[in-house]
């Protein structure tokens, strides 16, 4: 390999493993290496620069341009800083320890010089509010080369990234720079709760029933109690005798408060806010007959432009007792019906995994492991993975209008940072291979350890915290690639060696392995499934109208007065007279809150949609489906508002580069103009027909523009 290794070192460290080859024994066809000397200003002896020997390889590329690869020997004296960063392996051992993978000698560990733009730019991260996430985030930041401030920056300057464990109400006071990134969207905790998620998906089910059939039929109590009774009686009349439902408290987490029922009369408290769903009684099982589900991780990179990613690796969670269809004798055995880790870990049958080999039969397994097991049983896993990714896209698009609303509300008086978020999607597979969405977790656990009981004791008597190999393999690359993604370093990390194709002869085994690495995250919208699901990006049009009549500085609900103004300005008084608006607001408010006294607080967005659906049904009754009726109503409202001189500055904008086929969809393009005018101290005057700035200097060259 061209490096000099002392005979004493070889004698003291003989190569005994057949899998480990000493660099001096490797044959190479590389050009001869010439040793040269240069002055390294970073190495000083008695305050004087010294000469350092390096090996330089030169070869003639196809373009007849001299290419120089610097190879620095790692036999440098201790405590001498080598100026070039180590390349990193994607293997777990390289993530957890500062050493090359097994089978590769330290002497062949190559240092590659990064491009100047990132070599000179040191990114910073504030983890002062990361709490339980801090260990994994700190470790990943260190490996990437990000400067961490666990107590916040002492000089009060903004960091590039802020990592919080929960959504903070004072985020706009903590993250003040529009160029910073923060790992939470305002309001996301509420939006991902069971009832809020159900409202969002239910609105889409009314418009796109076939596209959103992946979510179980649901009822929100107490408001929908009569509807639930009516559904049960109708099903009985049709001959259904075996029906099971699962009851989930809205505020519940980690499986607490969940129970099964077979009759509405078994609901314990009909006045409590809770969700009732049809129970998936026919889950897919494998040879061990244990029920399982998947935790699939998605990343919303941003909404300006909209970009959604999925992690290639996820988690499979197994019950700890064999599954049988629920009946009066076993429906209380939650160890057989619920897959929640927090519940099953206390069962003596829970199987912890100490190695990757153990996890093939453990209670917590890698998603890829279970996919291989399913494939061996004849399941078409490629199709299954395709359907799961579509669920992630469709669910995120259903939540998107309210994500936009809360962002505008929280940062109403500032440009706002770039928000991103790691999401956990819990998916169960039916016995026919159909994936079903169970729920969404806005703050999935990012810890990489777990508690195991002491020998001979149960977990309730205490235990010790140990390393979790499954969590490490999943969460370390997830957090690392998320940081690389939002900082714009993903291409540099995974394509640096691809740009050295003309120099592959000078790369050692480690570099050859790195060339085969793939990103842990892959974009699924708009690039992969934009054409398939782009038409579902629909309710933002209603959101733009909604925000015209909401006082975003103070609230995210539309008041009765705002709704009356909407009816008046959109010329809808012939459909619903102004005097009847208050009664309709009270009716819809109860349907969404279950409380007849809260109508004074106004209607949330999906309640406003219910109001729109009511008007659309009456005004455009000749249309065949609700989607067509709502489309015509939104167009009618848009024309009416233009007559009053009202134009939304937030209309969605698509930027298309026809040369490379990439599309960037800006959900709040006025934010781009605001950030730009703030940054340069001036405001752009050029506006497009939708009152949006025509010029975005920081975007790639656009050859075609159109308004969606």
* 162/241 same-domain check: no
549-572 b/e (C-beta count within 10 Å ≥ 16 → b): bbbeeeebbbbbebbbebbebbeb
Burial class (CB in 10 A: 0-12, 13-18, 19+), 339: buried
Q: Residue 346, CB half-sphere, CA atoms under 13 Å: how many?
A: 11
Query: For the chain, what is the total number of helices (H) and then of strands (E)?
Result: 22, 24
Last residue of a domain, one of 643, 664, 679: 643
* 93/208 same-domain check: no
* Number of domains composing the chain: 6
Other Cβ atoms closer than 10 A to 579:
9
Q: What is the pTM of this model?
A: 0.77
* 303/380 same-domain check: yes
Residue among 342, 314, 192 nearest 257 (CA): 342
Position 647 confidence tier, pLDDT thresholds 50, 70, 90:
low
* 399/493 same-domain check: yes
* 700/614 same-domain check: no
Least confident of 21-35, 153-167, 225-239, 491-505: 21-35
From first CA to last CA, the distance across the chain in angstroms is 57
Last residue of a domain, one of 184, 207, 236: 184
430 falls within a domain: yes
Query: In the prediction, which pLDDT does 419 show?
Result: 95
DSSP 462-487: -EEEEE-HHHHHHHHHHHHHHHHHHT
Least confident of 15-24, 455-464, 511-520: 15-24
Position 418 confidence tier, pLDDT thresholds 50, 70, 90:
very high
Mean pLDDT of the chain: 77
498 falls within a domain: yes
- Per the listing, tokens 């730009």 go with 676
* 325/387 same-domain check: yes
Query: In the prediction, which pLDDT does 591 show?
Result: 86
* Tens-digit pLDDT profile for residues 271-286: 888 899 999 999 999 9
* 391/271 same-domain check: no
648 falls within a domain: no
* 104/201 same-domain check: no
* 524/612 same-domain check: no
Query: In the prediction, which pLDDT does 380 show?
Result: 94
- Where helices occur in 411-537 by DSSP H, the ranges are 469-486, 490-495, 509-515, 530-533
1 falls within a domain: no
Crossing angle for the helix pair 540-548 and 381-410, to the nearest 10 degrees: 10
Least confident of 72-76, 240-244, 512-516: 72-76
Burial class (CB in 10 A: 0-12, 13-18, 19+), 43: middle
Output the domain CATH number for residue 405. 3.30.470.20
392 falls within a domain: yes
Last residue of a domain, one of 279, 297, 322: 279
228 falls within a domain: yes
Query: In the prediction, which pLDDT does 652 show?
Result: 78
Query: In the prediction, which pLDDT does 425 show?
Result: 97
Kindly state the DSSP code that residue 86 receives in the 8-state scheme. Answer: B
Please give the residue that has the higher pLDDT: either 71 or 667. Answer: 667
Query: In the prediction, which pLDDT does 19 show?
Result: 44
* 287/335 same-domain check: yes
Residue ranges making up the domain that contains 507: 190-216+283-533
* 366/490 same-domain check: yes
Q: Which tokens sit at 227?
A: 């509807």
DSSP 369-404: HHHHHHHHTT--HHHHHHHHHHHHHHHHHHHHHHHH
Rounded mean pLDDT of 365-369? 95
Output the domain CATH number for residue 262. 3.30.1490
Is the N-terminal amide bond of 526 cis, ω within 30° of 0?
yes
- Which of the residue ranges 131-145, 255-269, 509-523 has the most confident prediction, judged by mean pLDDT? 131-145
25 falls within a domain: yes
* 209/335 same-domain check: yes
2 falls within a domain: no
Position 171 confidence tier, pLDDT thresholds 50, 70, 90:
confident
């Amino acid at each position: 390999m061209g490096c000099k290794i002392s005979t004493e070192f070889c004698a003291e460290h003989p190569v005994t493993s057949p899998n480990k080859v000493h660099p001096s024994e490797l044959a190479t066809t590389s050009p001869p290496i010439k040793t040269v000397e240069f002055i390294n200003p970073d190495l000083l002896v008695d305050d004087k620069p010294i000469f350092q020997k390096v090996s330089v390889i030169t070869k003639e590329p196809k373009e007849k341009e001299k290419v120089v690869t610097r190879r620095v020997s790692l036999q440098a004296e201790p405590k001498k800083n080598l100026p070039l960063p180590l390349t990193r392996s994607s293997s777990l051992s390289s993530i957890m320890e500062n050493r090359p993978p097994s089978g590769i000698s330290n002497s062949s560990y190559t240092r590659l010089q990064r491009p100047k733009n990132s070599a000179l730019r040191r990114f910073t991260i504030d983890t002062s509010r990361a709490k339980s996430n801090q260990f994994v985030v700190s470790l990943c930041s260190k490996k990437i080369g990000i400067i961490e401030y666990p107590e916040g920056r002492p000089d009060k300057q903004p960091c590039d990234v802020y990592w919080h464990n929960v959504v903070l109400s004072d985020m706009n006071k903590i993250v003040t720079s529009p160029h910073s990134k923060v790992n939470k969207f305002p309001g996301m905790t509420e939006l991902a709760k069971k009832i809020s998620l159900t409202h969002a998906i239910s609105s889409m089910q009314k418009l796109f029933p076939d596209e959103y059939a992946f979510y179980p039929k649901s009822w929100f109590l107490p408001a929908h109690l009569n509807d639930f009774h009516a559904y049960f009686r109708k099903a009985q009349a049709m001959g259904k005798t075996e029906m099971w439902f699962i009851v989930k408290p809205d505020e519940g987490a980690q499986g607490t408060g969940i129970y099964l029922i077979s009759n509405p009369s078994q609901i314990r408290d009909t006045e409590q806010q809770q969700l009732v769903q049809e129970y998936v009684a026919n889950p897919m099982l494998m040879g061990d007959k244990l029920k399982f589900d998947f935790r699939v991780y998605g990343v919303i990179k941003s909404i300006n432009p909209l970009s959604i990613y999925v992690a290639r690796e996820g988690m499979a969670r197994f019950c700890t007792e064999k599954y049988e269809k629920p009946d009066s004798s076993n429906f209380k055995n939650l160890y057989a019906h619920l897959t929640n880790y927090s519940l099953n870990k206390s069962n003596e049958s829970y199987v912890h995994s100490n190695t990757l080999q153990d996890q093939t039969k453990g209670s917590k397994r890698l998603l890829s492991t279970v996919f291989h097991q399913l494939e061996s049983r004849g399941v078409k896993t490629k199709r299954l993975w395709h359907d799961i990714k579509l669920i992630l896209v469709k669910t995120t698009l259903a939540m998107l209008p309210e994500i936009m609303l809360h962002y505008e509300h929280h940062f109403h008086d500032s440009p706002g940072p770039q928000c991103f978020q790691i999401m956990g999607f819990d998916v169960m597979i039916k016995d026919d291979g159909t994936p079903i969405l169970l729920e969404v977790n806005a703050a999935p656990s990012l810890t990489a350890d777990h508690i195991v009981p002491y020998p001979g004791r149960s977990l309730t008597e205490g235990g010790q915290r140990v390393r979790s190999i499954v969590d490490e393999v999943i969460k370390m690359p997830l957090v690392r690639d998320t940081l690389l993604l939002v900082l714009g370093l993903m291409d540099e990390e995974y394509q640096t060696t691809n740009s050295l194709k003309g120099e592959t002869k000078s790369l050692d085994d480690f570099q050859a392995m790195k060339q085969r690495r793939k990103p842990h995250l892959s974009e699924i919208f708009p690039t992969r499934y934009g054409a398939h699901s782009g038409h579902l990006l629909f309710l933002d049009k209603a959101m733009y109208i909604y925000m015209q009549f909401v006082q975003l500085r103070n609230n995210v609900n539309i008041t009765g007065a705002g709704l009356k103004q909407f009816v008046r300005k959109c010329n809808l008084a012939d459909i619903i007279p102004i005097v009847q608006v208050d009664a309709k607001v009270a009716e819809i408010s109860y349907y969404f809150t279950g409380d007849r006294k809260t109508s004074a607080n106004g209607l949330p967005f999906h309640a406003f949609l219910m109001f729109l659906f009511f008007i659309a049904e009456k005004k455009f009754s000749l249309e065949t489906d609700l989607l067509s009726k709502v489309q015509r109503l939104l167009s009618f409202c848009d024309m009416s508002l233009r007559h009053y001189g009202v134009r939304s500055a937030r209309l969605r904008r698509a930027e298309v580069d026809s040369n490379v086929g990439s599309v960037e969809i800006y959900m709040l393009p006025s934010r781009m103009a605001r950030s730009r005018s703030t940054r340069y101290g001036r405001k752009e005057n050029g506006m497009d027909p939708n009152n949006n700035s025509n010029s975005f200097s920081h975007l790639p060259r656009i050859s075609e523009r159109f308004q969606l």
